[in-house]
Amino acid sequence: MKFKSLSYFFILFSIALSFSQNISGKITDENSQSLEFANVVLYNAESNEVITGVISDEKGSYIFKDLLKGKYYIEVSTLGFETKKSETFELLGSKNLDFVLKEESQMLNEVVVKSKRPVIRQTAEKLVVDLEKSEMINSNLKDVIKRVPGIFVTNNGINFAGRSDVRILINGKTTSYMDITTLLQDLPADNIARVELVEQPGAEFDAEGSGPIINIILKKNVKLGTHGNIATWFGEDEGFESGTSASVASYKNKLNWQASAGYASLTWRDDLFIKRTVGADTYNQATIEPYNPKSFRLGGSLDYYISDKHTIGFGIRYNNSTSNRISKSSTDIISSSTTEKLVSENSFDRDRNTISVNPYYEFKSDAHKLVADFNYVNFTNDNIDNVYAASGNTVPITNQRYLQDGKFTIKTYKVDYSRMFSDDIKLSFGSKYSVVNTDSDLKSFTQNATTNNFDFQANNSNRFLIDETIFAVYSKLNANFGKWSFSGGLRYEDSDTEGVSTNANDSRSRKISKLFPSASISRKINENLGANVAYSYRIRRPSYNSLNSFVQFYDPLTSEVGNPNLRPSFTNNYQFNLTFDRQPFFTIAYSETKDDLFQFISQDDATAQVSRSTINLSERKNWNFRLFGPLDFIKGLEGFTGFIVDYNVFQSNDLNPQLKLSKWNYGWYTQASYELPWKINAEMSSYFGSGALEGQIDVGWIGNLEFSFGRKFLDDKLKVNLGISKVLNRGFVGTVNYDNINADIESNGSRQNVQLRLAYSFGSKFGKKKSRRNSSRDEENRIDDNN
């Protein structure tokens, strides 16, 4: 019996030994900083199946316990760093295996600011704000963009270092066929992984656009198993507003899918006050313009990993935005002997629908990467505008109605290939072909005083069709040589555009074939100081709507006029950066644009009407100087502060009289976060500027101050955020003095905004990062609608 008992003991001991192997290690970056929340996945080397996964702790450590003997390999990934895979190894006993991860885009000498949250990385081409590990839950995309050093969001759009020609991309796809104001308000911030400010786009980007690019990278399904997020928010602006969203994702074996939906009902106001002289009379106009858009979005994607090198996928996205609102305009017309009152209302009915489909194929190995994808976008924009006299009006007004329907179809085919010859040499090249078809149909009606019916006005109506094709090829080289690094590329684009105006029976064509070079050189001067210079050459084509020769009235005295004679503009961009102690420090940038596309305001003294149209200027020049530094030298405080000085010059020799405007602007920007008692994370952002040029408008000082407070509950699954914006929000106050225009202008939005947001996460806690680069869709950028 003793022998038998002893045999059982040895058998059990042998079984225990077979499960007693552990694998442990530590995850760090190249600066020996620990990386928490890194995804560490263990694979069976013979079947390539996932055994299990863990995440690294706050010290960067991980451990797999009680493993069988066998052959394994480990893959480690985290957002903002290159994925690293170990060699295959045979586990015979406990093993220690450490990993050192490289920053993504290392070929561009990215400089990392190591901050708890968020992480800022600076290259010669772009600045990256990584929000993936941020404790704060901002309310929307508008709040997130404010995290980017130097970005300031006004009632009139986005401004960076004195430039308002900023474009927004989402996952490399442009968004200007959408309503940007609604997009900023509606897109949930907790869907965003990072923000890239691309000041010097490389050859892999389309050459479209003279200003910087803001590329919003959305979070991907990076977790094994099934997980999701449910969020809701409500607040007060110009009334009660609310929204809700939900997402779910799953990654098991070789199949990865995710789906999301969201709804938002927003309220805000954009008021305009204009006091101007027309001859000897004074026109004092006040327009109260509320906004109440309701938006719904639905999206999903499916990825299938054929093998560890081959992946196919499919994504689809649908967006709908509707708005039914009434703005009221009241103008006192004061002459030497009388005072008249022009009172009108404008009802806006908007219905916008977008559907996009994006299948793709990706091949990726240690040295090669090939991505081929197709993107289809169908956008419809149906508008009904009514301009009519309102109570209190003493001036004769002819009531008007406009039906404006827009249809846009975009098909884009794109292939990108990159080859890593070594850790220091990378070659990329690719090609893109896009086909764009637009149909803008404007029908104008006036009310018949006798019958009260609306009669069609053929002379003020127009249908404008555009067919455009763009073919592009590019090549780019990235190289490191000791303390030096180089990035240079060349892009060739051939575009063929034809526009037909059915009302005027007029056809116009434009063909452009041009080379667009870009380059950057970086050098590490010493342990603390680094420098780089960059250059890019860009084109900005007129938006499709601005080419339409329509005239549309917003009230009896204000109209928008199209210009079919617009030419594309070309811009040379130069930039010099200094980084100190691995942080963005000092920047000098200069750009010069020929045939700049400029929003021009004119006044007709005979009718007192003010119209806005896009024209070509002779040139535009922009200088900007930036000085930024971190705030972490103050104990417990994270963030940055900085100063921006910019100088703008607009000049046109074709106008009579000649137009030449110039102005200096001085700005101070601060973004800071601090942990209060009870683990409450507080955040403050502010901007103060001395004044700038917004086209012809000489704007006075501006200021903005906002706060946010957040806390986690239920083992960090529930996140609660209270946002208070517009605490200090001085409106847009300026003057216009050109030719016969002498006007004071003030544009004020709604004041304080308060939002409470709750988000609950569920599902697995470890994951596998998959890599996929989304292609840019810059021809979509020109399908804009400023209404």
Least confident window among 239-253, 338-352, 431-445 = 239-253
Tell me which of 54, 73, 102 is where a domain ends. 102
Q: Report which of residues 107 and 581 the model is more confident about.
A: 581
- CB–CB of 565/622 below 8 Å? no
Place of tokens 């074939």: 513
The answer, yes or no, to whether residue 123 has pLDDT greater than 70, is no
pLDDT at position 247: 87
Identify the pLDDT of residue 384: 92
Better-scored residue on pLDDT, 81 or 234 = 234
212/571 Cα distance (integer angstroms): 11
In DSSP terms, 384 is beta-bridged to 349, 403
Residue 552's pLDDT is what?
A: 74
Q: Measuring CA to CA, which residue among 256, 440, 482, 484 is closest to residue 362?
A: 256
Same domain, 566 and 648: yes
What is the pLDDT at residue 182? 59
Q: What is the mean pLDDT of residues 3-9?
A: 44
What's the CATH number where 615 sits?
Answer: 2.40.170.20
DSSP assignment, residue 391? T
pLDDT at 786 over 50: no
Residue 766 in this model has a pLDDT that exceeds 90 = no
Mapped onto helix, strand or coil, the DSSP state of residue 270 is strand
In this structure, is residue 145 part of a structural domain? Answer: yes
Among 139-153, 218-232, 694-708, the range of highest mean pLDDT: 694-708
Max mean pLDDT range (58-67, 131-140, 747-756)? 58-67
The contacts of residue 607 (CB under 8 Å, 6+ apart) are: none
Parallel, antiparallel, or unpaired: how do β-strands 400-420 and 425-447 relate? antiparallel
pLDDT at 188: 65
pLDDT value at 79 more than 70? no
Q: Is residue 67 within 8 Å of 91, Cβ to Cβ?
A: yes
pLDDT top residue among 53 and 61: 61
Please report the pLDDT score of residue 175 as a whole number: 65
Identify whether residues 66 and 124 lie together within a single domain.
no
Q: Using CA of residue 574, residue 580, residue 583, residue 586, what is the dihedral sign?
A: negative
Ranges of beta strands (E only) in 16-77 are 21-29, 39-44, 50-55, 61-67, 70-77
Q: Is 575 helix (H, G, I), strand (E, B) or coil?
A: strand
The pLDDT value recorded for residue 194 is 79
CA distance 702 to 645: 14
- Quote the mean pLDDT of the chain: 82
- On whether both 66 and 173 belong to a single domain, the answer is no
In a domain, 557, yes or no: yes
What is the predicted pLDDT for the residue at 53? 83
Among 3-17, 370-384, 442-456, 481-495, the minimum mean pLDDT is found in 3-17
For residues 478-503, give the mean pLDDT: 90
For residue 149, say if its preceding peptide bond is cis, omega within 30 degrees of 0.
no
For residues 139 and 199, membership in a common domain is answered with: yes
**Residue 785: predicted pLDDT:** 42
Per mean pLDDT, which of 153-157, 168-172, 221-225, 585-589 is the most reliable? 585-589
Taking the CB of residue 518, how many other CB atoms lie within 10 A of it? 25
Mean pLDDT of 305-311: 85
**Predicted local confidence at residue 16, as pLDDT:** 44
pLDDT on residue 784: 47
Q: Is 72 in contact with 44 (CB distance < 8 Å)?
A: yes
**Confidence band (pLDDT; 50, 70, 90) for 110?**
very low
**Residue 491 pLDDT > 50, yes or no?**
yes
d(CA 551, CA 535): 39
Mean pLDDT check: name the lowest of 11-25, 229-243, 285-299, 536-550: 11-25
Q: Is residue 616 part of a domain?
A: yes
> What is the rounded CA–CA span in Å between residue 709 and residue 679?
10
DSSP letter string, 195-236: EEEESS--TTS-SB-SS-EEEEEEP---BSEEEEEEEEEEEE
What average pLDDT does the segment 483-490 reach? 93
Tally of domains in the chain: 2
In this prediction, residue 388 carries a pLDDT of 93
Q: Same structural domain for residues 417 and 289?
A: yes
pLDDT tops 50 at residue 15:
no
Give me the pLDDT at residue 468, please.
92
Query: 23 lies in which domain range?
Result: 2-102
Q: Say if 777 falls within a structural domain.
A: yes
Residues 6 or more apart from 32 whose CB is under 8 A from it? Answer: none
Q: Which two tokens stand for residue 634?
A: 């103050």
User: Which pLDDT score, from 0 to 100, does residue 362 have?
Assistant: 92
220 in a domain, yes or no? Answer: yes
Q: Which residue has the higher pLDDT, 737 or 640?
A: 737
Q: Give pLDDT, residue 32.
A: 76
CB burial string 702-728: b at 16+ within 10 A, e below: bebbbebebbbeeeeeebbbbbebbee
- Residue among 384, 525, 359, 515 nearest 445 (CA): 384
Confidence bin at 178 (pLDDT 50/70/90): low
Beta carbons within 8 Å of 475's beta carbon, 6+ residues apart: 203, 427, 428, 429, 489, 490
376 shares a domain with 345 = yes
Q: Rounded to whole angstroms, how far apart are CA atoms 568 and 571?
A: 10
Residues 219 and 264 both lie in one domain: yes
Last residue of a domain, one of 75, 102, 129: 102
Residue 513 lies in a domain: no
* Residue 297, H or E segment: strand 294-305
Q: Residue 557: which of 174, 224, 285 has the closest Cα?
A: 285
CA distance 560 to 558: 7
Peptide bond into 118 cis (omega under 30): yes
User: Is residue 726's pLDDT more than 80?
Assistant: no
* pLDDT number for residue 554: 76
The answer to whether residues 240 and 376 belong to one domain is yes
| CA dihedral over 115, 119, 120, 122, signed as positive or negative | positive
Tell me, yes or no, whether 37 and 138 share the same domain.
Answer: no
Confidence of residue 6 (pLDDT cuts 50, 70, 90): very low
Query: Does any domain span residue 510?
Result: no
pLDDT value at residue 156: 53
What phi and psi, each to the nearest 5 degrees, are found at residue 185?
-80, -30
CATH of the domain at 70: 2.60.40.10
pLDDT of residue 117: 47
Higher-confidence residue: 326 or 211?
Answer: 326
Q: Does residue 135 share a domain with residue 96?
A: no
Q: Which of 330-339, 385-394, 550-559, 573-582 has the lowest mean pLDDT?
A: 550-559
Q: Please give the residue that has the higher pLDDT: either 723 or 121.
A: 723
For the chain, what is the radius of gyration of the CA atoms?
29
509-522 pLDDT, tens digit per residue, is 889 999 999 999 99
Q: How confident is the model at residue 224 (pLDDT cuts 50, 70, 90)?
A: low
pLDDT tens readout for residues 601-637: 999 988 888 998 999 999 999 999 999 888 878 888 8
**For residues 16-42, b (16+ Cβ closer than 10 Å) or e, as one string?**
eeeeebebebbbbbeeeeebebbbbbb
Confirm whether 324 is domain-assigned. Answer: yes
Q: What number is the average pLDDT over the span 456-461?
A: 88
Residues 259 and 335 in one domain: yes
User: Lowest-confidence range among 119-128, 177-186, 485-494, 738-747?
Assistant: 177-186
- Across 68-82, 125-139, 410-424, least confident range: 125-139
- Are 80 and 125 in a shared domain? no
Find which of 35-44, 484-493, 537-546 is predicted with most confidence, using mean pLDDT. Answer: 484-493
The answer to whether residue 667 scores a pLDDT higher than 60 is: yes
Confidence of residue 775 (pLDDT cuts 50, 70, 90): very low
Q: End of a domain among 102, 125, 154? A: 102
Q: What are the tens digits of pLDDT across the range 26-59?
A: 998 877 778 877 888 888 888 778 888 888 887 8
**Residues ≥6 apart with Cβ < 8 Å to 106:** 82, 423
